[in-house]
């Protein structure tokens, strides 16, 4: 009698949880990030601990849950390394921001080595979040292997760009350089979509939802970095607008970067590392 009454209920409950998996994941993630953010603020955590808790642990869980293949993870690591070198190198050269590393060692005298590590964790997290929650959850291993060279070229180009500026273009600066960096990200994303003729309404909605969710941990990371003196925005005259956050400067361009970065990462991952099926409904 008891079994006959409650078994259908539990079956319905399991079906409901399966249908609403993403909603449950969202609430669990909110609780996790609320607790982690409070702890990082309270203990004044450094850049490595903050990145491990905000991006590293969630990326590990996403990779284990989705059984992400090594070829895809390695390609994303190479991609993330190139992004970190460009961002941090340009930021240091033009004074957009200054990242306080654990020690004084910097690649090419520009990029703190630990920032490369933390940036890789961030890009890994964004990629895995997009694939598992907003895409179909199926990785394209053959595409990752075939296009690994393209990501290697991107990394080599990033290194070449920094070396060129350090040794050949030293002393040449552009005003509003943060805005130019954002324009390049947006322009390259739109140009890639246009060249592939890949922008569809379904993919645009997917990007919008992904950006809205990714904004939460990225914004928390930025606020914690500013509050715990991991990242300093000192070139206030070159920003479009600056906010004051508990006595610390937070430029408008940083907020825009938090919105643009997920679009850039998801677009390049989907078109050059995944299957490129933009109309596939998410799971």
**pLDDT grade for 156, boundaries at 50, 70 and 90:** confident
Say if CB 118 and CB 131 are below 8 A apart. no
Tokens matching residue 166: 């350090």
**Residue 15 pLDDT exceeds 60:** no
Name which of 152, 133, 160, 134 is nearest 74 in CA terms.
Answer: 152
**pLDDT grade for 139, boundaries at 50, 70 and 90:** confident
- Specify the pLDDT at position 27: 81
| Cα separation, 130 vs 34, whole angstroms | 21
Handedness of CA 86, 89, 93, 98 (dihedral sign): positive
**pLDDT grade for 242, boundaries at 50, 70 and 90:** confident
Tokens matching residue 277: 């099926």
Q: For residue range 40-87, what is the model confidence (pLDDT) as tens digits?
A: 988 888 899 999 999 999 999 988 888 888 888 888 888 888 888 888
Q: For residue range 158-202, what is the model confidence (pLDDT) as tens digits?
A: 777 767 766 666 666 667 788 888 888 888 888 888 877 666 778
Q: Are strands 242-245 and 248-251 parallel, antiparallel or unpaired?
A: antiparallel
The label of the residue with tokens 């993919």 reads 203
- Specify the pLDDT at position 107: 75
- H-helix or E-strand containing 232? strand 231-232
- Specify the pLDDT at position 91: 83
- Specify the pLDDT at position 117: 92
**Residue 236 pLDDT exceeds 50:** yes
pTM of the model: 0.84
- Specify the pLDDT at position 54: 95
Percent of the chain with pLDDT strictly greater than 70 = 78
| Cα separation, 54 vs 138, whole angstroms | 24
């Amino acid at each position: 009698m008891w079994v006959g009454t409650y078994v259908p209920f539990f079956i319905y409950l399991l079906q409901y949880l399966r249908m609403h998996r993403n909603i449950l994941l969202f609430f669990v993630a909110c609780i996790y990030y609320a607790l982690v953010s409070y702890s990082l603020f309270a203990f004044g955590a450094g850049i490595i601990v903050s990145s491990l808790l905000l991006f590293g642990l969630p990326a590990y869980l996403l990779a284990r849950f989705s059984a992400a293949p090594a070829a895809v993870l390695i390609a994303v690591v190479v991609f993330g390394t190139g992004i970190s070198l460009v961002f941090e190198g340009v930021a240091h050269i033009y004074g957009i921001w200054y990242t306080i590393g654990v020690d004084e060692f910097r690649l090419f005298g520009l990029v703190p080595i630990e920032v490369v590590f933390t940036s890789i964790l961030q890009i890994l997290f964004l990629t895995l979040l997009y694939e598992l929650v907003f895409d179909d959850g199926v990785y394209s291993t053959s595409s990752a292997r075939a296009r690994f060279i393209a990501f290697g070229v991107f990394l080599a180009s990033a290194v070449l760009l920094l070396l060129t500026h350090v040794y050949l273009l030293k002393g040449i600066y552009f005003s509003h350089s943060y805005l130019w960096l954002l324009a390049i990200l947006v322009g390259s994303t739109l140009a890639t979509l246009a060249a592939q003729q890949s922008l569809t309404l379904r993919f645009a909605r997917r990007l919008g939802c992904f950006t809205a969710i990714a904004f939460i941990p990225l914004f928390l990371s930025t606020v914690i970095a500013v509050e715990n003196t991991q990242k300093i925005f000192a070139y206030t005259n070159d920003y479009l607008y600056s906010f004051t956050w508990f006595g610390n400067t937070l430029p408008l361009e940083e907020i825009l970067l938090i919105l643009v970065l997920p679009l850039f990462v998801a677009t390049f991952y989907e078109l050059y590392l995944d299957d490129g099926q933009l109309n596939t409904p998410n799971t």
